[in-house]
Amino acid sequence: MAILCSVLTAPGQDDKPTIAIIGVTNELENEAWRDARIGFGLKTMLSQYLMDTDKFNLLEEKSEIRDRLESTTEYLWQTGTKDSVAKPSTMAIDLGADVVAYARVIHFGVPETKISIGPVHRRRQTTEIKIAVTLADYARGKTFVGIGKGQSRRKAKSAIFEFRNNVVFFDETSVGKATRKAMEKAVDEALEKYIKWK
């Protein structure tokens, strides 16, 4: 899975800012989230949501930096701390991006709700994910953070994520669906703050 990073500015093209999407950090202490494929999948999801807004020009891949960028994505996912983005974001600035975007998975929980109606007792599990998305405009010294929460009902003993051919399918499990909702909400909030400031 490739990192999407490069300059798409051609003569006569619109003046939308260029954006470098450098990856996602995993701040969870949960073995099920260690797989690097999840980090690459989340980065692709973040890229897609940001491009769907039509507010930025995505940096184009260049063969001479592709390996460095892929290493950056894996590094962010494996190191899993808020401070992990400092070095990679500096690298993205060197690539000529106006804005740097990254996300952090900050919460994963499965709270259980007990429902009692007379003699009938049921338990329901809900998957809850929280993701923070940061849009950093380093040229102007401004950072905009959106936090999104996603929830989905979870079946007992269901898989955390579904993988096929080394690709994670977020729409196949309740955790994946909650993750997608959280990412979308976080992007929307960060973008709303960014647009108001612009």
What is the pLDDT at residue 64?
58
The fold for domain 18-197 equals Rossmann fold (3.40.50)
Name the stretches of the chain with pLDDT < 70. 1-14, 60-69, 81-84, 86-93, 111-124, 154-158, 198
d(CA 80, CA 149): 19
**Domain extent listing, the chain:** 18-197
Interval 66-124: pLDDT, tens:
666 677 777 788 877 666 676 666 666 677 788 989 999 999 987 665 555 655 545 66
Distance CA 70, CA 22 (A): 9
Residues 162, 32: Cα–Cα separation, whole Å? 11
CA distance 29 to 111: 17
* Long-range residue pairs from 11-14, CB within 8 A, at least 24 positions apart, any chain: 13/57, 14/57
Query: How far is CA 158 from its chain centroid?
Result: 23
Give residue 81's pLDDT: 67
pLDDT at 113: 57
What was the pLDDT predicted at 71? 75
Q: Report in angstroms the alpha-carbon separations of 178 from 137, 152, 184.
A: 28, 5, 10
